[in-house]
Structure 1
């Protein structure tokens, strides 16, 4: 891929590392748009609540969901693939082993959406089933990153401002890249090895890493740093003007 055709990458939604003990995972995952010379690539689709955010993010670039040519999925959890049906002309890419594993699970398996997993299987050869080292599109390479799920993958992308790695939930946030300690993994040892692999790749190439639930990160002399502040704004559904109820919360400390 020549420098003139490298991808221009923008964030549609910055992920946020939040969860609730009483209401389960928020599912606020990262979603990014990568524009190439002839490709409109969406990296992750987020949970169902992202539908208006994705539509607005595309519209800001003069695009509609029908313009998306490719959707890259790091793994099969609901908060990363739940909007695949928004993109009728896109080829969806997912790990071959990941999809096989997801289909083997019972219907009540945590964090899975049987509807969307079955839809990917139904599409057959129209879904790109990828493996470690595959160059699935010009300037996009697959990296094997198991642990969080058995067939989890990351994608390294040749971006205009330098290489970027979309790590999904192999690295969910700045804490995991910093420490190598992971939350919510099916294989802790494999997850730690995947983080080591991604750190080494970042050191070798200077790549930025986009976590599954945080803003992009740098890895500089053994230290993980956010490239911009992390925040989430939360509004209450309240009609009262009582100051304790009718307000927004901005959290800049996560």
Structure 2
């Protein structure tokens, strides 16, 4: 039986056009050690435009003005955003939810729409298909926390994009992700799921990267 090998390569672009969806990284997440057991961090913020206008993660409250300016530079107001998806509940990913009171909001497994919390089956492993999203879906990818989610975006010029939050801290993150994980064994499975699904991954704290899959025959011993 052939085994799948994954090779990744960095992408310099923050914009991936496509039909029906285009992906635009407004804020490239980062994490840096500043000494004395302290570090600075902010999560990636990604805009998806198409039938819906979707924002994935809202960074920390310290990035409020940057997000507003980035949206404005693309002709998008907070009221234009139809859906906000937060991959998990850490402060550097949910810090500006209050900017989007008219949007449908999904934080991990909690779905809020038109003033009400709405039941869904994400916690049971079923994907959430965004109403009117023409293929946009949210899948469960736990491990970093117990309820991480990822938005899967089909139809860009580079193929399917996974906006993954901290399932991947960054490309080549083998030196860090396990120590930040609540459950490394489960997160390993989530990472493999996304490597199987996606052509591009937008990680939580670094630039986007491509995923190239190759089939290799196992060695005979």
Same fold, TM-score > 0.5, yes or no: yes
The residue aligned with 2:106 is: 93
Q: Does 1:144 align with 2:140?
A: yes
The residue aligned with 1:15 is: 29
**Superposed CA RMSD:** 2.7
Q: Does 1:215 align with 2:207?
A: yes
Q: Does 1:60 align with 2:89?
A: no
The residue aligned with 1:27 is: 41
- Rg (Cα) greater in structure: 1
Q: Does 1:188 align with 2:184?
A: yes
The residue aligned with 2:12 is: none
3-state SS in 2 of match to 1:151: coil
**Alpha-carbon shift at residue 20 of structure 1 (Å):** 3.9
Q: Greater helix share, 1 or 2? A: 1
**Alpha-carbon shift at residue 50 of structure 1 (Å):** 1.3
Q: TM-score, normalised by structure 1?
A: 0.67
The residue aligned with 1:112 is: none
**Alpha-carbon shift at residue 128 of structure 1 (Å):** 7.4
3-state SS in 2 of match to 1:52: helix
Q: Which has the higher contact order (CA 8 A, sep 6+)?
A: 2
**Alpha-carbon shift at residue 129 of structure 1 (Å):** 5.1
The residue aligned with 1:232 is: none
2:129 corresponds, among 132, 135, 146, to: 135
Task: Give the distance between the partners of 1:29 and 1:76, measured in 2 at CA.
Answer: 11
Task: Give the distance between the partners of 1:130 and 1:167, measured in 2 at CA.
Answer: 19
Kindly report which structure 2 residues correspond to 1:56-205, keeping only aligned pairs within 5 A, or say none: 56-96=69-109, 99=110, 124-125=116-117, 131=122, 132-136=126-130, 137-161=133-157, 162-176=159-173, 182-202=178-198
Do 1:93 and 1:128's aligned partners in 2 also have CA atoms closer than 8 Å? no
Q: Greater strand share, 1 or 2? A: 2
**Alpha-carbon shift at residue 179 of structure 1 (Å):** 7.5
3-state SS in 2 of match to 1:186: coil
Do 1:45 and 1:82's aligned partners in 2 also have CA atoms closer than 8 Å? yes
